[in-house]
Amino acid sequence: MSYRLELLLGAGVILALAGSLLIGPAGLLPAESFAALLSGEGPAGLVMREIRLPRAILGALVGAALGLSGAALQGYLRNPLAEPGLIGVTGAASLGAVIALQTGLAAAFTLGLPLAALAGALAAVLLILALAGPRGAALTLILAGIAISALAGAFTALVLNLSPNPYATYEMVFWMMGSLANRSFTHVWLAAPFVVVGGAVLLSLGRSLDALALGEDAAESMGVRLSRLRLALVLGVASSVGAATAVAGGIGFVGLVVPHLLRRAVGSRPSRLLGASALGGALLVLLADIAVRLILPEKDLKLGVLMAIIGAPLFLHLVYRTRRELG
């Protein structure tokens, strides 16, 4: 088996990481930037090490988490519309994060923020699986997702409105659209363990998800333990999406766009789609984060804006293709 695709994507991620390190309002030349990154000296060193490097790393982490989770959910539900944002997992993770931040849980306890977001995501995944059933029929999946997203969004807005902080009310857009602006290594260290562990769990499910392409009975008869698979999937998705959302807000459509673009290239094998989608997600979010800095450098344009502009038309296309199933 040739891993040319993965190598290409990996090279793309490295280039995008470098690009992400080079772009910013400080207007450093590339050579200066990398010298400052290595030396860490002076204001340029601080900009490179404390501002751009964590942002780039977080972009890759968050993108990988979202791409991988989308591919895993789609493999499990055998439905190309399954995406953490569309089915409400991101929204519920946002709610968990907002509750942790506004109640002071996040300040009182280091892991409070990612764990609360994880709990929110977990509740949403469990609810989705209970509502949509094991086969994940498109209509129930999307309807359940709309309901969960709406409910989570409403509660998020309520919690923000109840906050004594006058700025909090205006931050709904961050929790809906996501942003990597002004993130630091604190956020990297908060999210990375959950994304890495959750991602490793999801990557380990590849062969089982392959077998599931033939249906649950066939998969089970081939030795797949369905209950264990389901548990691992739920925890893996909740952990990666929860942690990613806790630090970067609700970035949608990554898990829809990336697996869709890569599926043919990996021969539609869910197992290979997992790794490729993790790389592709990292690449896409890094590129989008570079784009938001180039388009409106000083405005903190939300990542989700760009993702929705790319993702929503694709989503419509997928709905159109599955309209018979939906009808």
Partner 1 sequence: MAEAPARVVSMNLCADQYALLLAGPGQLVSVSHVSRDTVASPYAALAAEVPVNHGGAEEIWLLRPDLVLAHEWSDTRVLAILRRLGIDVLQIPVPEAIAEIPDTVRAYGDALGQSATAELLATAFEQRLADLEFRAAALPPGKTATLYGANGYSAGMTGMAGDILRHAGLLPAGGALFAGGSVPLETLVMEAPDMIITGARYAGWSRSEALLDHPVFDALPAARRLSGPAWACGTPRVLDAVEALLAVREAS
Partner 2 sequence: MTLLTLTDLTVRRGDCPVVDGVSFTLGAGEFVGLIGPNGAGKTSLLRGALGLLPHEGHSSVAELPPGPRSRHVAFLPQAREIAWPMQVADLVRLGRHPHDARAKADADAVDRALRRMGLADYAPRLATQLSGGEQARVLIARALAQETPLILADEPVAGLDPAAQIAAARVFADLAGEGHAVLASLHDLGLAARHCTRLLLMDRGRLVADGPPSEVLTPQNLRDVFGITAHFQTGPEGPIFQPLDRVRPQ
Summarize as ranges the residues that interact with partner 1 (CB under 8 A): 24-26, 43-44, 46-47, 50-52, 101-102, 104, 106-107, 163-168, 170-171, 174, 182, 184-186, 297-300
* Residues whose CB is less than 8 angstroms from the CB of residue 176 and which lie 6 or more positions away in sequence, other chains included: 91, 94, 153, 249, 250, 304
Q: How far is the CB of 186 from partner 1 (least distance, A)?
A: 6
Site for partner 2 in 154-213 (CB under 8 A): 207, 210-213
Q: Which does 263 bind (CB under 5 to 8 A by kind): partner 2, partner 1, none?
A: partner 2
Q: Which does 211 bind (CB under 5 to 8 A by kind): partner 2, partner 1, none?
A: partner 2
Q: Which does 297 bind (CB under 5 to 8 A by kind): partner 1, partner 2, none?
A: partner 1
Residue span binding partner 2 (CB under 8 A) among the ranges 51-59, 116-124, 266-274, 306-314: 266-274
Q: Which does 325 bind (CB under 5 to 8 A by kind): partner 1, partner 2, none?
A: none
Contact predicate 175/111, CB 8 Å: no
Choosing from 270, 281, 304, 311, the residue that interacts with partner 2 (CB under 8 A) is: 270
Task: Give the closest residue to 271 by CA, choosing from 208, 197, 214, 195.
Answer: 208
Give the integer Cα–Cα distance in Å for 164 and 153. Answer: 19
Cβ nearer to partner 2, comparing 110 with 268: 268
Give the integer Cα–Cα distance in Å for 314 and 327. Answer: 19
* Residues whose CB is less than 8 angstroms from the CB of residue 275 and which lie 6 or more positions away in sequence, other chains included: 6, 203, 206
Q: How far is the CB of 103 from partner 1 (least distance, A)?
A: 9
CA distances from 134 to 17, 129, 185 (A): 38, 7, 39
Q: Which does 25 bind (CB under 5 to 8 A by kind): partner 2, partner 1, none?
A: partner 1
Q: Which does 24 bind (CB under 5 to 8 A by kind): partner 2, partner 1, none?
A: partner 1
Give the integer Cα–Cα distance in Å for 322 and 293. Answer: 36
If one asks whether residue 230 binds partner 2 (CB under 8 A), the answer comes out as no
Q: How far is the CB of 93 from partner 1 (least distance, A)?
A: 15
String of contacts with partner 2 for each residue 68-87, x by CB under 8 A:
----------x---------
Q: Which long-range contacts (CB under 8 A, 24 or more apart) does 293-301 make?
A: 293/23, 293/24, 294/23, 297/25, 298/25, 300/179, 300/181
Helical ranges in 78-111 per DSSP H: 89-103, 105-108
User: Which DSSP string do the residues of 207-233 spell out, in sequence order?
Assistant: HHHHHHTT-HHHHHHTT--HHHHHHHH
Name the residues that contact partner 2, by CB under 8 A.
78, 207, 210-215, 217-218, 220-225, 263-264, 267-270
